[in-house]
Amino acid sequence: MYTSMKKIHKDKDVEPTEFEESVAQAFFDLENTNQDLKSDLKDLYINSAVQIDVSGSRKAVVVHVPYRLRKAFRKVHVKLVRELEK
């Protein structure tokens, strides 16, 4: 069965945090619901995700991706950010 856990790859014996699981779930949901991003997100996954505070009460999410997938992520970056901000 294909689940959101396929969207996050961690080192051995390291469990993803709850926040990383929610980011992976968002990637999984986008892949299954957005036809425009489906083919682009099929082979992509993340290594980790961290939420940081930025100026005042605003927050940002830093998503760490494997170097070899960086080019593929850059192709869909604008669409991906737009969809994840919704």
Instruction: Using alpha carbons, select from 40, 61, 44, 65 the residue that is nearest to residue 52.
Output: 61
Domain hosting 54: range is: 4-80
**Can you tell me the distance from the alpha carbon of 49 to that of 19, in angstroms, rounded to the nearest whole number?**
7
Q: Has residue 30 got a pLDDT over 60? A: yes
Coil, strand or helix at 75:
helix
Domain presence at residue 15: yes
Sign of the Cα torsion 6, 10, 13, 18 reads negative
CB 23 within 8 A of CB 46: yes
- Counting the structural domains of the chain, the total is 1
pLDDT category of residue 1 using cuts at 50, 70 and 90: very low
Domain presence at residue 86: no
What global pTM score does this model have?
0.86
User: What pLDDT sits at residue 2?
Assistant: 61
pLDDT tens figures, 33-84: 989 888 889 899 999 999 999 988 899 999 999 999 999 999 999 999 998 8
